[in-house]
């Protein structure tokens, strides 16, 4: 990405998760996707488990995630998952939705972990949203297909679900 002020190439400040220009000190916040992911675009060592394109670096709040620019899936550390959901829920201005029932066909899809390449665990997510998620217990990573995090965030909160 080039500086909108002086057109010099900008570089990513990994601590602040923004792009900065060393020449004129302009700071640019990367654009946010409809799912709240800021796509930073730096390469990651991972390949998309669903469509095999290279995953790029993104961020949600202060959490680094990997995202696919083709299918818009999202790989994030399990440890950051609840905080990420809480963060997105707190700033969502969209009305709650009753999610459609779990699509059981999704349980049959087998994905390989982008990190260790072992088969991921595919299972219905226990929280709101009626989604099927893929996790790697070994790498402590979660893969979410496009739209799944929005379904979690917009689902009406069930009592005792957290």
Q: Cα–chain-centroid distance for residue 93?
A: 19
Residue 115 sits in the site that holds Zn ion (CB under 5 A): yes
Candidate ranges 56-64, 79-87, 108-116, 124-132; the one touching Zn ion (CB under 5 A):
108-116
The DSSP 8-state label assigned to residue 95 in this structure reads P
CB of 49 to Zn ion, least distance (A): 8
CB of 154 to Zn ion, least distance (A): 22
Kindly determine how many residues on this chain lie close enough to bind Zn ion according to the rule CB under 5 A: 21
β strands within the chain, DSSP E? 11-13, 18-20, 27-28, 38-47, 54-60, 63-67, 74-77, 121-124, 132-136, 141-144
The DSSP 8-state label assigned to residue 36 in this structure reads S
Residue 149 sits in the site that holds Zn ion (CB under 5 A): no
Candidate ranges 37-45, 68-76, 101-109, 143-151; the one touching Zn ion (CB under 5 A):
68-76
Taking the C-alpha atoms of residue 54 and residue 118, their distance in angstroms, rounded to an integer, is: 18
How big is the chain, counted in residues?
A: 162
CB of 157 to Zn ion, least distance (A): 30
State the residues that interact with Zn ion by CB under 5 A.
3, 5-6, 8, 21, 23-24, 26, 48, 50-51, 68, 70-71, 73, 113, 115-116, 136, 138-139
């Amino acid at each position: 990405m080039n500086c909108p002020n002086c057109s010099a190439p900008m570089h990513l400040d990994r601590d602040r998760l923004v792009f900065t220009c060393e020449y004129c000190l302009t700071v640019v916040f990367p654009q946010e996707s409809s799912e709240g992911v800021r796509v930073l675009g730096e390469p990651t060592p991972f390949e998309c488990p669903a469509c095999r394109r290279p995953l790029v670096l993104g961020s949600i709040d202060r959490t680094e995630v990997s995202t696919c620019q083709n299918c818009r899936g999202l790989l994030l550390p399990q440890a950051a998952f609840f905080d990420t959901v809480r963060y997105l829920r707190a700033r969502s201005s969209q009305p709650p939705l009753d999610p459609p029932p779990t699509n059981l066909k999704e349980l049959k899809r087998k994905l390989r972990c982008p990190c260790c390449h072992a088969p991921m665990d595919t299972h219905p997510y226990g929280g709101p949203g009626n989604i099927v998620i893929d996790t790697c217990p070994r790498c402590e990573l979660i893969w979410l297909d496009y739209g799944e995090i929005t379904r979690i965030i917009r689902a009406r909160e069930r009592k005792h679900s957290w």
